[in-house]
């Protein structure tokens, strides 16, 4: 039971991170119907930006921790968003309306490019960071096994909840959200009634990138090591989460992320840790076979 609780806590933490990345996939897919293959790399850039911000802050001298976190959060979101915007502008926008596979292939190229760019600029070795937030609560103890929830885990979970609330309000209550939903339904029609489609799509990428940057920040703090390659696996798992939840559905992405996090935590807790990545993909395949629309996705009605 104690072990179970511990895995549950770990799983929810991990799931928060995946959920934040998954939203980027699901939003982009919803609005332009493409898999933004480079999204995992955007998250990786977010992790690097936050790491560098922390390092710079340490260099200029000690700074009150909450302020440092806030600074890193803002920096990561800001700079990563610019990357997200640029990627869309350079690699995807010229291909809108091109044949089906073109943007996907361009996205794969972009993903390889960004990965290697960071490798060239920052080196291939893993980057270890001193733990910034340590300590935690002991929830229960039995037979020498202590269940703890660290401050960091609390930080991650709370921040995720706050961001997702803000984000949901943004989508549901603002004119920006309305423009997004209109563009999703029918791009031509949306343009005709005065929605700036290009800008709406750009905003979608920016929002996705900002959330991925937060996930990058979290992962930097949580694991303490990052390298240029982390985007690949995380991206794939987040995409799996998006599909699991029902691609195009934002609550679905959150739910999917949570489930993938839990599956991974329990799998490595109870089975073999080596195959934890396989577990996530096997679930993806199973979901696609038995419920191609995902858990919360709407069935697609084919227009002929």
Partner 1 sequence: MSVQNQKLDMLSLLKESGLAALIAAALALPLAGFKTFDVNGTLTAETRFNWVLVAAVVVFFGRMAISIGQKTFFPSMGQAAGGAAGSIGDVINQNRTLLLCLLLAAVIIFPFTPMANRHSLDLAVYVLIYVMLGWGLNIVVGLAGLLDLGYVAFYAVGAYSYALLATTYDLSFWICLPLAGIFAASFGIILGFPVLRLRGDYLAIVTLGFGEIIRVVLLNWYEFTGGPDGISSIPKPTFFGLAEFSRSGSDGLPPFHELFGIEYSSLHKFMFFYFLILALALVTNLFTLRIRKLPVGRAWEALREDETACRSLGINPTNTKLSAFAIGAMFAGFAGSFFATRQGFISPESFTFIESAIILAIVVLGGMGSQVGVVLASIVLVLGPEIFRELAEYRMLAFGGLMVLVMVWKPKGLMSKRNPTVLMHNDTNAKQGAAK
Partner 2 sequence: MSDQSHEVSGVPLLEVEHLTMRFGGLVAIGDLSFTAMREQITALIGPNGAGKTTVFNCLTGFYKPTEGRLTLHHPVKQEQYYLEQMDGFRIPQVAGVARTFQNIRLFGNMTVLENLLVAQHNKLMVESGFSVFGLLGLKKYRKAEAEAIELAKYWLDRVGLYDKADWNSSNLPYGDQRRLEIARAMCTRPQALCLDEPAAGLNPKETLEMNELFHFIKEEEKIGLLLIEHDMSMVMEVSDHVVVIDYGRKISDGTPDHVKNDPAVIRAYLGEEEDEELPPEVAQDFEGENA
Closest CA to 288 of 255, 249, 239: 239
Q: How far apart are CA 103 and CA 98, in angstroms?
A: 8
- DSSP-derived secondary structure for 63-110: --HHHHHHHHHHHHHHHHHHHHHHHIIIIIGGGTTS-TTHHHHHHHHH
Residue 53, Cβ density class (10 Å: 0-12 exposed, 13-18 middle, ≥19 buried)? buried
**Binding at 35: pick from partner 2, partner 1, none (beta carbon under 5-8 Å per type):** partner 1
If one asks whether residue 278 binds partner 1 (CB under 8 A), the answer comes out as: yes
Q: Which is nearer to partner 2, 187 or 237 (CB)?
A: 187
- What is the footprint of partner 1 within residues 137-196 (CB under 8 A)? none
Q: Does 275 bind partner 1 (CB under 8 A)?
A: yes
Q: Which does 91 bind (CB under 5 to 8 A by kind): partner 1, partner 2, none?
A: partner 1
Map the footprint of partner 1 across residues 243-272, applying CB under 8 A. Answer: 243, 272
Minimum CB distance to partner 2 smaller for 64 or for 290: 290
Task: Give dist(CA 231, CA 110) in Å, integer.
Answer: 12
- Which stretches does DSSP call E strand in the chain? 127-128, 136-142, 145-150, 225-226
Q: How far is CA 23 from CA 64, 146, 253, in A?
A: 31, 34, 6
5 binds partner 1 (CB under 8 A): no
Instruction: Report the nearest approach of partner 2 to the CB of residue 280 (Å).
Output: 32
Which of partner 2, partner 1, none has residue 64 at its interface (CB below 5 to 8 Å by kind)? none
For the CB of residue 285, give the shortest distance to partner 1 in the complex, in Å.
6
Q: Among 22, 28, 75, 209, indicate the residue that binds partner 1 (CB under 8 A).
A: 75
DSSP state at residue 130: -
C-beta of 62 vs 97, nearer to partner 2: 97
Which of 1, 59, 60, 301 lies at the binding interface for partner 2 (CB under 8 A)? Answer: 301
Task: Look at residue 301 and give the partner it binds from partner 2, partner 1, none, a contact being a CB closer than 5 to 8 Å depending on partner kind.
Answer: partner 2
> Which residues, at least 6 apart from 205, have a Cβ–Cβ distance to it below 8 Å?
28, 36, 84, 85, 87, 88
E runs forming strands in 107-219: 127-128, 136-142, 145-150
- Contact call for residue 95 and partner 1 (CB under 8 A): yes
The closest alpha carbon to 27, from 218, 236, 180, belongs to: 180
* Helix (H/G/I), strand (E/B), else coil: 149: strand
302 binds partner 2 (CB under 8 A): yes
Residue number with CB closer to partner 1 (24 or 195): 24
**Which option in partner 2, partner 1, none does residue 90 bind, with CB closer than 5 to 8 A by kind?**
partner 1
**Tokens 């959150």 -> residue:** 254
Applying CB under 8 A, the residues found at the interface with partner 1 are 34-35, 45, 48-49, 51-53, 55-56, 58-59, 75, 79, 82-83, 86, 90-91, 94-95, 98-106, 108-123, 125, 127-130, 232, 236, 239-240, 243, 272, 274-275, 277-278, 281-282, 284-285, 288-289, 292, 302, 304
Applying CB under 8 A, the residues found at the interface with partner 2 are 301-302, 304
């Amino acid at each position: 039971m104690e072990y179970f609780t511990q895995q549950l806590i770990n799983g929810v933490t991990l799931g928060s991170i995946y959920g934040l990345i998954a939203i980027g996939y699901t939003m982009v897919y919803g609005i332009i119907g493409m898999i933004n293959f480079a999204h995992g790399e955007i998250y990786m850039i977010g992790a690097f930006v936050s790491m560098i911000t922390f390092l710079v802050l340490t260099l200029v001298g000690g700074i009150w921790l909450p302020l440092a976190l806030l600074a890193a959060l803002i920096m990561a979101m800001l700079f990563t968003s610019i990357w997200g915007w640029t990627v869309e502008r350079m690699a995807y926008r010229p291909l809108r309306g091109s044949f089906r596979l073109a943007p996907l292939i361009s996205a794969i190229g972009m993903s390889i490019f960004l990965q290697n760019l960071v490798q060239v600029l920052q080196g291939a070795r893993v980057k270890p960071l001193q733990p910034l937030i340590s300590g935690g609560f002991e929830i229960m103890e039995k037979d020498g096994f202590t269940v703890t929830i660290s401050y960091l885990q609390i930080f991650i979970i709370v921040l995720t909840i706050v961001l997702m609330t803000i984000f949901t309000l943004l989508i549901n209550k603002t004119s920006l959200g309305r423009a997004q939903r209109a563009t999703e339904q029918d791009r031509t029609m949306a343009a005709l009634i005065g929605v700036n489609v290009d800008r709406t799509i750009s905003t979608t990428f920016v929002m996705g990138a900002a959330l991925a940057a937060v996930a990058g920040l979290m992962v930097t703090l949580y694991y303490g090591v990052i390298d240029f390659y982390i985007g690949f696996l995380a991206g794939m798992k987040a995409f799996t989460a998006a599909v699991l939840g029902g691609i195009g559905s934002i609550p679905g992405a959150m739910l999917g992320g949570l489930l993938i996090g839990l599956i991974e935590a329990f799998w490595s807790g109870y089975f073999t840790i080596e195959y934890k990545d396989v577990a996530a993909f096997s679930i993806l395949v199973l979901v696609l076979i038995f419920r191609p629309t995902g858990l919360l996705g709407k069935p697609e009605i084919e227009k002929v």
